[in-house]
């Protein structure tokens, strides 16, 4: 892959009547498949409230929920160890748990609206979360499953909330503020715009980007809820539209936790802590962009070797996550803004969704061995 010969998509999924706004890969066993092997599937949510499940190898629709939400879909998340469940978040203020086994699958052609309505759904956390996309994660040590969302506390202060979804909790197990646990006195008046979690079992890093251009970073495993960093004006005064946490190589065997941020200005900003520590976070590099407006930025989770950013100009720019953050390729397919971007967790496959209502699948470089991703190596984490 190079700038002169950037590839076309390996496949294009068509069928949504609304703009795809949320994507999530999953390994799924499809009952109608002649093979019992798990297939790489992709969940997509659209601006008209529809959810679809696709097979990436055959590009067919496996299941369809035309009215999953009464407004647009903001996020779709699948548990890491249980692809039989899927969580969706809509602009209607609902987070919904769907049982995939109860969905009627399609053997030949797309499902119709009448044949694809699930027989059961469970609505979780019935309240408004704004327009910040939720995140789902499993806590291996505590055997819990949690959602991270943006939500106001009873006093109206903006916070990041962690919910135990296995307990069907109606109140969060923890609220995180830039000033520390339970302290909203220094909470920004602006809204939480975006969230990111670090990949890996032993990593508790959580980052939030705010409308006032600030970024806050926590280690969610620390009981006091005190943030590791609260950086102001990362993108001058422009809202931060997306954040992603990766581990950039520092030497042959070590890696440094890195938060890349995107905003409405024409640049990506990279934030790292001081050496061998999780304190002293600062902006260490920035990548200029040819035009303003990035909707999503993502480290590839399988190895953190590349960063992809989707633009309002319809292009996806792929950068090296090594020193210099060199531009590797500009991917062109969509006509109009690219609002959704997601990597497959354990493959080089990437998906993008655009205002042209297409979902493009890309094979983006071969995977490499990831560097160590263990925050326990840092001085202030036990």
**pLDDT given for residue 237 in this prediction:** 87
In 36-65, which positions are buried (b, 16+ CB within 10 angstroms) versus exposed (e)? eeebbbbbbbbbbbbbbbbbbeebbbbbbb
**pLDDT given for residue 368 in this prediction:** 55
Ranges 43-57, 110-124, 241-255, 350-364: which has the least confidence: 110-124
Kindly report the CA angle at 265 between 345 and 336, in degrees rounded to 5?
A: 65
Output the CA torsion 285→75→200→144 (10° steps): 140
**pLDDT given for residue 380 in this prediction:** 38
CA distance 18 to 234: 33
pTM: 0.87
CA distance 69 to 79: 20
Output the CA torsion 145→149→153→157 (10° steps): 150
**pLDDT given for residue 166 in this prediction:** 78
The pLDDT confidence band at residue 278, using thresholds 50, 70 and 90, is confident
Please, are residues 196 and 148 in contact by the beta-carbon 8 Å criterion? no
The pLDDT confidence band at residue 101, using thresholds 50, 70 and 90, is confident
CA distance 100 to 1: 36
SS3 assignment, position 101: helix
**pLDDT given for residue 59 in this prediction:** 94
How are beta strands 158-164 and 144-152 bridged, if at all?
A: antiparallel
Residue 285 DSSP symbol = E
**pLDDT given for residue 382 in this prediction:** 28
The pLDDT confidence band at residue 112, using thresholds 50, 70 and 90, is very low
Phi, psi (5° rounding) for residue 102?
-90, -5
Between the alpha carbon of residue 211 and those of residues 48, 132, 158, 312, the distances in Å are 25, 11, 11, 18
What's the whole-number average pLDDT of the chain?
82
**pLDDT given for residue 229 in this prediction:** 94
Ranges 46-55, 105-114, 347-356: which has the least confidence: 105-114
CA distance 87 to 11: 25
The pLDDT confidence band at residue 258, using thresholds 50, 70 and 90, is very high
Instruction: Compute how many other C-beta atoms are within 10 angstroms of the C-beta atom of residue 229.
Output: 18
Q: Which residue has the higher pLDDT, 139 or 260?
A: 260
**pLDDT given for residue 92 in this prediction:** 87
Q: Which residue has the higher pLDDT, 292 or 115?
A: 292
- pLDDT tens digit sequence for 26-69: 986 655 444 446 689 999 999 999 999 999 999 999 889 999 99
- pLDDT tens digit sequence for 114-165: 334 444 566 666 555 678 999 998 876 556 788 999 988 888 888 999 988 8
Residue 29 DSSP symbol = -
CA distance 145 to 313: 37
Over residues 209-215, the mean pLDDT reads 95
Over residues 242-248, the mean pLDDT reads 94
């Amino acid at each position: 892959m190079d700038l002169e010969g950037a590839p076309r998509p390996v496949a294009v999924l068509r069928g949504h009547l609304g703009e795809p706004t949320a994507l999530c890969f999953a390994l799924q066993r499809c009952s109608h498949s002649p093979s019992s092997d798990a297939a790489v599937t992709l969940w997509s949510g659209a601006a008209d409230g529809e959810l679809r499940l696709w097979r990436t190898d055959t590009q067919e629709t496996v299941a369809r929920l035309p009215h999953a939400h009464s407004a647009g879909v903001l996020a779709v998340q699948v548990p890491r160890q249980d692809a039989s469940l899927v969580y969706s978040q809509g602009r209607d203020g609902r987070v919904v748990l769907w049982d995939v086994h109860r969905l009627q699958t399609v053997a030949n052609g797309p499902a119709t609206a009448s044949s694809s309505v699930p027989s059961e759904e469970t609505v979780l956390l019935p309240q408004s979360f704004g327009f910040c996309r939720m995140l789902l994660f499993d806590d291996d040590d505590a055997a819990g499953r949690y959602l991270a969302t943006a939500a106001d506390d009873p006093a109206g202060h903006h916070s990041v909330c962690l919910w135990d979804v296995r307990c069907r909790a109606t109140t969060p197990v923890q609220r995180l503020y830039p000033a520390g646990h339970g302290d909203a006195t220094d909470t920004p008046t602006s809204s939480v715009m975006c969230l990111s979690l670090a990949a890996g079992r032993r990593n508790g890093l959580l980052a939030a980007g705010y409308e006032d251009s600030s970024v806050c970073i926590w280690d969610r495993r620390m009981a006091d809820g005190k943030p590791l960093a609260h950086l102001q004006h990362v993108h001058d005064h422009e809202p931060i539209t997306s954040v992603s946490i990766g581990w950039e190589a520092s030497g042959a065997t070590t890696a440094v936790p890195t938060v890349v941020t995107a905003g409405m200005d024409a640049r990506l900003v990279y934030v790292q802590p001081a050496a061998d520590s999780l304190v002293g976070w600062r902006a260490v590099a920035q990548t200029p962009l040819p035009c303003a407006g990035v909707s999503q930025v993502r480290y590839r989770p399988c190895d953190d070797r590349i960063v992809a950013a989707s633009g309002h100009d319809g292009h996806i720019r792929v950068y090296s996550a090594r020193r210099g953050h060199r531009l590797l390729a500009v991917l062109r397919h969509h006509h109009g803004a690219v609002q959704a971007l997601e990597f497959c967790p354990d493959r080089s496959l990437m998906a993008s969704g655009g205002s042209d209502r297409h979902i493009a699948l890309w094979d983006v470089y071969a995977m490499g061995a990831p560097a160590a991703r263990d925050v326990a190596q840092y001085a202030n984490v036990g």
